[in-house]
Structure 1
Amino acid sequence: MSAVSPQPADPAYEAQVADYLAAHPDFFLRHLELLESLRIPHAVGAGVTSLIERQLAQLRSRNLSLLQRLHELIDVARANDRLSSRMHQLALTLIETRELDELLLAIARILRDEFEADAVSLRLAARPLGTCAVPGVFVSALDLDPLRGLLEAAKPLCGPLEAELAQALFADAGVASAALVPLHGGLWEGVLAVGARDVQRFGPGLGTLFLQRIAALLEQALDPHLDTPVD
């Protein structure tokens, strides 16, 4: 409960309050939250703070810290709920999409719309089993050599990109930071790159668990459509 600003004393009202408290000595036991906002000075000398006052101040400070932490946890829980909903939508889209062209376009669209990416790039060292008219997706294994370390580590990488790599993946989209996600199918490999114009959006400290889950969904959805690349 937040503190209430002091009001001018009304002797008659104060007497009523005093009588009520005298008749109900357990009042504060039933309203412990009021104790946090009470100010009861202790006469221990001018300019001196009593031990009780200091303990109460520390207790209030700790309660404020706990309240702030609780709000932070609530914010995290809400963010996780939103992320879970987006992952669910991605999974449904991948399940419902049958053609490779539609699948590739759907991946880019849902990552832009649901995950608020400024740019999405997919590079696959693979050969499509059917026809595919989506340009720039299929490359040779040699083309992925600059990202060989990422592929071998098999873990997403987040952070700012070197200008040459940013240009190769996103052309002129103005990407300042990106999440690079390695993909490994049965007979192919590739990289999903999700970019943002905000340099802080995909910082090195960003958690990558949800990116790994996205990778697993994409690998499962793409695998039936892809074969070993022809170099």
Structure 2
Amino acid sequence: MITEDDIANYLAITPDFFERHAQLLAQVQLTSPHGNRAVSLQERQAEMLREKIKALEHRIMDMVRHGTENVMTADRLQRWTRTLLTWRDTRQLPWEVLSGLQRQFMVPQTGLKLWDLDAAYAEEGYVQNVSDDVKALATSLTTPYCGLNAGFEAASWLNDPQQAVSLALLPLRAEPEQPAFGLLVLASPDAQRYHAEMGTDFLERIGQLAGAALSRLRA
């Protein structure tokens, strides 16, 4: 018996069939997806084209929106980087790193600890009470950690640890292959702000820039 697949295959390999039987095109009636009424094959094809065009328009709108967001993010990153490059008070530079991230990128909470700095900074709050576990964690991170706050010690550096539902932990290095000399924490009450499936390219840039700027405090 001839099956529907046989008919479909025949029509696919015989493109001139409807040229020889043009009257069939006018006789074919299909059910409209927008109701129970019957429509011609040409009208159904027109509806399918309109749906494809609408889907493409939505994709273009998404691309434009993402492009605009990327430009705005790049502008914020440039302003933050410019401030780090021109900041003269190295003692206050770590605090400016944190406040700049909050201002430019609307990060609800930020925290920071540094180690192996010049002895001149030994009494600063950002070098106090750093455990060996934190140092080992920072050095082990090759990319930022993003996910739920699972009781990380670094969350205790924040002003309100109870509101830190999701975290991004960024290791700070003077050079890519060197051990970390600091750990930067970004926190949010939104569980989806920092999650395991998100891309980390932008966070890596922030960590690299912060690490390069703060390397001025090292011995």
Deviations 1:140-195 (A, max 9, x none): 461415x62x5323101111111354643425341111111111226752211101
State the Cα distance separating 1:206 from its structure 2 match. Answer: 1.9
C-alpha distance in 2 between matches for 1:99 and 1:206: 35
User: Structure 1 residues 126, 156: closer, same or farther in 2, change over 3 A?
Assistant: same
Aligned equivalent of 1:163? 151
C-alpha distance in 2 between matches for 1:72 and 1:191: 35
Q: In the alignment, residue 49 of structure 1 is paired with which amino acid?
A: V
User: Structure 1 residues 83, 133: closer, same or farther in 2, change over 3 A?
Assistant: farther
Q: Scaled by the length of structure 2, what TM-score is found? A: 0.74
Aligned equivalent of 1:65? 55
**SS of alignment partner, residue 121 of structure 1:** strand
User: Structure 1 residues 154, 163: closer, same or farther in 2, change over 3 A?
Assistant: same
User: Structure 1 residues 153, 136: closer, same or farther in 2, change over 3 A?
Assistant: closer
Where structure 1 has 5 or more consecutive residues not aligned to the other structure, the ranges are: 1-41
Say whether residues 1:89 and 2:69 are aligned partners: no
Q: Scaled by the length of structure 1, what TM-score is found? A: 0.70
**SS of alignment partner, residue 125 of structure 2:** coil
User: Structure 1 residues 125, 203: closer, same or farther in 2, change over 3 A?
Assistant: same
How much identity, in percent, do the aligned residues show?
25
State the Cα distance separating 1:100 from its structure 2 match. Answer: 2.2
Stretches of 4+ aligned residues off by more than 6 angstroms: 42-46
Say whether residues 1:49 and 2:39 are aligned partners: yes
Aligned equivalent of 1:215? 207
Q: In the alignment, residue 182 of structure 1 is paired with which amino acid?
A: P
State the Cα distance separating 1:129 from its structure 2 match. Answer: 4.5
* Greater mean alpha carbon deviation, residues 165-174 or residues 189-198: 165-174
Where structure 2 has 5 or more consecutive residues not aligned to the other structure, the ranges are: 1-25, 30-35
- 1:90-105 matched pairs, under 5 angstroms: 90-105=80-95
Contact 2:76-2:104 within 8 A present in 1 as well: yes
Contact 1:183-1:189 within 8 A present in 2 as well: yes
- 1:67-216 matched pairs, under 5 angstroms: 67-131=57-121, 134-140=124-130, 142-144=132-134, 148=137, 151-165=139-153, 167-170=155-158, 172-173=160-161, 174-185=163-174, 189-216=181-208
C-alpha distance in 1 between matches for 2:100 and 2:72: 14
Contact 1:104-1:134 within 8 A present in 2 as well: no
Q: In the alignment, residue 188 of structure 2 is paired with which amino acid?
A: A
Contact 1:156-1:211 within 8 A present in 2 as well: yes
**SS of alignment partner, residue 190 of structure 2:** coil
**SS of alignment partner, residue 49 of structure 1:** strand
C-alpha distance in 1 between matches for 2:154 and 2:213: 26
**SS of alignment partner, residue 76 of structure 1:** helix
RMSD: 2.5
